[in-house]
Amino acid sequence: MKLRLLAGFCAVTGALAPVTARAQTPTFAVDRLVMAGAPGDGIAIWRPDMAAPTRVFAQLGLGFSWNPLRVANYIDNLDNVGKVKGNPLTRQIITYFDAGTEIRGCFSLHVSFPLIVNQAGNATLPSSTMASVSPASVAAGDLRIEARVLLVRSESRAFRLALSAATYVPTGSRYSYGGDNGAGASFGFAAEHDARVVAVTLDAAYRFRPTVVLNELPVSSELAYGLGVYVPLHRGTVQLGAELFGAFGVNPTKYPVYNAAPPGANPKSNVGDLDATPLEWMLNARMFFTTERRLYAGLGAGTRLTGGFAPDFRAVAVVGGSFGTSDVGGGAP
């Protein structure tokens, strides 16, 4: 009798061993939109100017993304494409909370928190050691704390240069595409030439991201960049914008990938990986409700331009305001 019980126990534990040996698969923050957040900014591009008087500001954004992460992004082995039902993420609806202060026109500090209020997708392809991932409907993002300092502003205000530094606190859902697998940071700059009738802004930043490998997709540190063109209308109470933003991998370290062809762990880095090289465009408009420009609302929409993980379509709406200033500026042309 004892032998039968022991044999049965061994059979059950043996059957469960392959399942329990699989570790929970970490994911990464899929959303590529780093919300700029200040009243004078664009949507994806931050602009190097601030209101002269000290003021506080707040902004609420709502974004929709269609197919932000596709099968082709994480599976290169064509033999495995038919083994999954569809894209890991088919949609994301995200709220963006931003608040901060601008001090004497030369320094700003603000925090940003994205919250995925609805998302859907399909289970990823599991490996021998990693379980498949199915997205939770609601997922928190990583808290971003950012400081900006204005270095150069010409007397005519036609040219401006500012630096930024940000830390990413790992508050996000690391197993459901909400946050990265640990803390992160970014260091960058923004330069702008303002010709009054049009302003051109260039952003660039090195972003440290914890490395995560999802099957054949390594996500790690990257260089993010953006270009914005803004046209003011109606004495600056309306701002039209066109933005281009993306990133490319800069971590040369090669990490094992899974379910690749030929079979086995084939080391791979995110440098030169097209799946980790997103590029998007977005058209947007912002309207200020008063000449003092204290309250505003804006809309934006665009698509991806490359095969990197970014939405097939993105739409964003923002509302915000600032308090403690009578200035009409704050980064506007």
Q: What is the DSSP letter of 123?
A: P
What does the pLDDT look like over 210-244, one tens digit per residue?
Answer: 999 999 999 999 999 999 999 999 888 999 999 99
Higher pLDDT, 258 or 182: 182
CA 170, 176, 177, 181 torsion-angle sign:
positive
User: What are 304's strand-pairing partners?
Assistant: 280
Q: Distances in Å between the alpha carbon of 30 and those of 67, 119, 270, 285?
A: 11, 11, 15, 25
**What's residue 192's pLDDT?**
97
CA 171, 97, 116, 302 torsion-angle sign:
negative
Q: Is 143 exposed, middle or buried (0-12, 13-18, 19+ CB in 10 A)?
A: middle
- Residues 321, 52, 195, CA angle at the centre, nearest 5°? 90
Read off the tokens for 303.
């698509």
Give the Cα separation of 202 and 96 in Å (integer).
Answer: 23
Mean pLDDT over 274-302 rounds to 94
**What's residue 14's pLDDT?**
40
Q: How confident is the model at residue 56 (pLDDT cuts 50, 70, 90)?
A: very high
What does the pLDDT look like over 312-330, one tens digit per residue?
Answer: 999 999 999 998 754 444 4
Distance linking the first and last C-alpha atoms of the chain: 86
Q: Which residue type is seen at 268?
A: K
Note whether 122 and 132 are within 8 A (CB).
Answer: no
Helix (H, G, I), strand (E, B) or coil at 273: coil
Read off the tokens for 332.
């506007």
Give the Cα separation of 200 and 197 in Å (integer).
Answer: 10
Domains of the chain plus CATH, in order, are: 28-322 (2.40.160.40)
Number of H helices, E strands in the chain: 3, 15
CA 207, 209, 213, 214 torsion-angle sign:
negative
Read off the tokens for 124.
């990823």
pTM above 0.75, yes or no: yes
